[in-house]
Amino acid sequence: MIRVLVADDEALMRTGIRLVLEHADDLTVVAEAGNGAEAVAACRVQDIDVALLDIQMPVKDGIAAAEDIARVSPRTTVVMLTAFGEDRSVTRALRVGATGFLLKDTGPAELIRSVRAAATGEPVLAPRITRRLLERHLLSAQEADTARHRTDLLTPAERDVLRLLGEGLSNAEIAGRLHLSTSTVKAHVGRILTRTGCANRVQAAVLAHDAGLLAD
C-alpha cells in the first residue's frame, strides 16, 4: 500500500485529491495538511511514501516544506502541486529535492498513475509545462559552466543516459533507446547521481538541460 500525504491550504482541494486517490486499491491518504509546517510535522512522525505539496501555502510554503521533508524523511518522495505558469517556483522546488510536479487540474487517472510512479522513484513532470519551464530556465554563463564541469566527470555512456534522463525517459525507455539492460541503466543512473551530486533523477534531468546536453 502506498501511503500518501496531501498538503494544500484549500480543504476542498485536499478532499478531492483524497477521494480520487482512495479509488485505487493500492493508495491510501494517511495524512492531510493545511500548510507546509503541518506537512513537515506529518512526515516526521508518520511513514509516508509520497507527499503531494501545494507550492503556495501559508506558514511555510511548499518549497520550504519540500526542503525540510528531504531532511527529516529522506525516504518520502515529494511531488509539487502547481498552477500553470508558476515556472520559477517549480524550478526552485526541483532544486531543493522535489522529484516532480503536477498541475492542479490533472485528471484522476493521471493523478493515480503519477503517484504510483513517484513511489517507485520515477520522475513526475506535467507534460504541458515541462517544455515551457525548460525554455524559460535561463542560466548565467558561470552557472552553465559549473553544470558542464559537473557532467565532465561522467563517462560517455553515463552522459548518454543523462541526456535521456533530461528528456524525461524512464529506465526502461532509456534501456530500449540505448540497447542496454534495465539493470545496467539503473547502475548508470546511480553513478550519475553520485558523481554529479544530484539528489534524484529529476535534479539530474535539470542538470542535463543546464549543461546543454539536449541542445541538439
Q: Is 27 left (phi over 0), alpha (psi -120 to 50) or beta?
A: beta
**pTM (2 d.p.):** 0.68
Contact (CB, 8 A) for 208 and 174: no
Alpha helices (runs of H) in 120-200, residue ranges in sequence order: 127-136, 141-151, 156-166, 171-178, 182-196
Q: Three-state DSSP class for 104?
A: coil
Our measurement of the distance from residue 197's CA atom to the centroid of its chain's CA atoms, rounded to an integer in Å, reads 16
Q: Minimal CA–CA distance to 158: which of 116, 121, 207?
A: 207
Contact (CB, 8 A) for 150 and 196: yes
* CA pair distance 179, 166, nearest whole angstrom: 18
Alpha-carbon distances, residue 20 vs 34, 46, 54, 99 (angstroms): 18, 22, 17, 21
Tens of pLDDT along the chain (216 residues)?
Answer: 999 999 999 999 999 999 999 999 999 999 999 999 999 999 999 999 999 999 989 999 999 999 999 999 999 999 998 875 555 676 677 777 788 788 888 899 989 999 998 998 877 776 665 555 555 554 556 677 888 899 999 999 999 999 998 887 888 899 999 999 999 999 999 999 999 998 888 788 888 888 888 754
Domains and CATH numbers, the chain: 2-135 (3.40.50.2300), 139-210 (1.10.10.10)
Backbone angles phi, psi at 102, to 5 degrees: -130, 145
Strand partners, 68: none
**Which residues fall within 8 angstroms of residue 148, CB to CB, at 6 or more apart?**
211, 212
